[in-house]
Structure formats: C-alpha cells, structure tokens
Amino acid sequence: MNQTIRYIAIGAVVAALAAAAWVWQQDDSVCTAGGVPATCVPEQIILYGNVDVRQVNLGFKVSGRVDQLQVEEGDRVMPGQKLATLEKPDFVDDVALAQARFDASAAALNQLENGARPQEIAQAEALVEERRATVQNARRTVKRRAELAEEGFTAHQAHEDAEAALLEAEARLQSAIETLNLVKAGPRDEEIERARAAHGADAAALSLAQRRLADTDLFAPNEGTILTRVREPGAIIQAGEPILNLSLKSPVWVRTYVEEPQLGFVTPGMKATVQTDSGGTFEGQVGFISPVAEFTPKTVETRELRTRLVYRVRVIVDSDDDGLRQGMPVTVVLVPKGAVAGAAAD
C-alpha cells in the first residue's frame, strides 16, 4: 500500500514538471536553441486579411457629349485600350483656329527677323533721290523768282511761295532719308521680342487645343475589369465626371494586420504565402508596414477577440491567375528569419 502511494506521488511530481516544461516552451519571450535560452522566434506568423478593393473611376479631362462606349460591364481591358470617345467636331474646329493663328504669328515673326527685302530698300532709295531732285528744283525756283522780284517782274509773294515750297521739299527729303535708314536698320529688337512672344502664346494655344482633342478619347490606365457603365452615349458630361468604373487586376495587394508583439518579426521584403479558403496558394512579399498603430478593425479576424494594437501590413502578390478577387478573405503565412525549429507558432 505504501509503495502504491509512493508511485502515485512520484507520478504527480513528474506530471507537474512536464506541465511546467510545456508552459515554459510556450512562452513568447524565451525558447531553447541548442540547450541555451534565447529569444523566441516563431516558426510561422499567421495573419488574416482581405484582398484590397482597388478601383478607378474613369472620366474625360474635357467636357462634351459622349459619342461611343466601346466596353460593357464585365469586360476585361488591357492598358492603353480605348474605352470611350466624345464627339469631336468642336475640338477639331478649335485646333483649326489655333493652327491658323499660329501660322499668322509665325509669318509675322519671320518677316521681322528677316528684315527688309532688297526691293524695299531700293524703293526707299529711289524715293530719296526723287525728293532730292525736288529740293534742287525748288532751290532753282526760289533763286529765279528772287531775281525777278528784285527787277520788278514778279510779286514778292511769288518769291515767298517758292521759299515755302523749298522748305517743304527739304522736309520731305529728310523724311525719305530717315525712312531709308529705318528700312536698312530693320525692326527694333523689342518688336521682334513682342512678335516672338505672341508666336509662343499661339503655339501654346495650339498645343492645348491638340491635347483637348486627344483627350476626347478615354484609354484604360491599367489591366482590369469594367465594373460599371455610369453614363451612356449621348449624355453630356463635365470634365472629370466618372463614366466607367474599373477594377484593377494588378498589382494584387492583400491588406492584413500584425499585432504589436509580432511586429519585430515582420520586415519589408520578407516572403509571404497567401492562402484562400478554397485551397488556392499564392506567393508574395511584404511591401509596406504602417508606422502608425491602430486598434483592431472589426473586419479583421483574429484568434483572440480582444482589443489590441495592430499595424497595417500590405502584402504584394507576385502573380495571380484570377484566383484572388477583390475583397476576398485570405490567410497570410509569414516565416520570420531565424525561426527556431519547434517553436510555437503565434
């Protein structure tokens, strides 16, 4: 009887020691590596999250009337694919008007930069010679009438009229000479700069009109699926008003949250395995860890339903065969660097 009691006591002691050892092994802060206590690095970190819902509202940069929509809801589109167009006549006319103004200012600028033509210089020189001859003739007339007035053969008024005509002829000659000098000197630098600035403004207006015409075509910015046709052909829309809703296919992002005690084991770039409830497995990597702590969102599923600080983590999936849908709940498995074999997974 005493021997039986002794065996029971020994068994109880052994069980207690085993339980204590098990609890010690489950401690998050201490593990045994090679018989030496060390910081516990879990073999795996299991997180729960959802595939990010990433959508783009597509619209035109200009206002107008919708002409065509080339896609239907549910269509898969590729980057650069034309999705919709606006009516173009008004935009084509704007380009034609801007082109005409551009050509006119270009011609005016070229005229100033090239200066006067040889024919224009020759014309100005001929005018100077003509008026110089007029001056010489006026001088002879003044001299002749002065002699006649002294001899009494003509009135002094005629002599005075001849002198006035001479002064006028000399002034017209000086004007012609100045005009010739201006023609030879060419336009002022300020005039050329003003014409160049006007031409630059017309060039900018033409470029803007051409861009507005190009903006009447709407292209897909990324690969994805058309979720909604917000407007239909014939509708008059404003600039930026959504007409299509596009669900982006790539890159695929998974939003999950890591608890503060596990934060030190998660680093950007570490490999991640994304698992779906239907058995799909996808490889990826941690792309972003939020620097700001927040409380556990209600949509996050954790094994401990209590309020704890968590940090948002973005996992970028390397490839996808349409097995991941936006908003789908997934499980993310991370393997920290330096994990101790046999350590408990958190």
DSSP state of 148: H
Each as own residue / partner, the long-range contacts of residues 160-163 (CB below 8 Å, 24 or more positions apart, any chain) are 162/138
Token look-up 């103004």 returns 101
H/E run at residue 291: strand 281-295
pTM attached to this predicted model: 0.61
Beta-carbon-side half-sphere exposure of residue 31 (alpha carbons within 13 Å): 17
SS3 of 188, please? coil
Report the chain's C-alpha Rg in angstroms: 46
Domain assignments of the chain as residue spans, ordered by start: 1-38, 55-86+213-248, 94-211
Q: Choose among 314, 324, 345, 313: nearest CA to 275.
A: 324
Q: Over its length of 346 residues, how does the chain's per-residue pLDDT go in tens digits?
A: 445 445 444 544 444 444 434 333 444 444 544 444 445 778 889 999 998 878 899 999 999 999 999 999 999 999 999 999 999 999 999 999 999 999 999 999 988 877 777 787 788 888 888 888 888 888 888 787 777 777 766 666 776 777 888 888 889 888 888 887 777 766 778 888 999 999 999 999 999 999 999 999 999 998 889 999 999 999 999 999 999 999 888 788 899 998 888 888 899 999 999 998 888 899 999 988 988 887 766 555 555 544 467 888 888 887 666 778 878 899 999 988 765 544 444 4
SS3 of 88, please? coil
Domain 55-86+213-248 has CATH 2.40.70.10: no
Token look-up 């002691």 returns 13
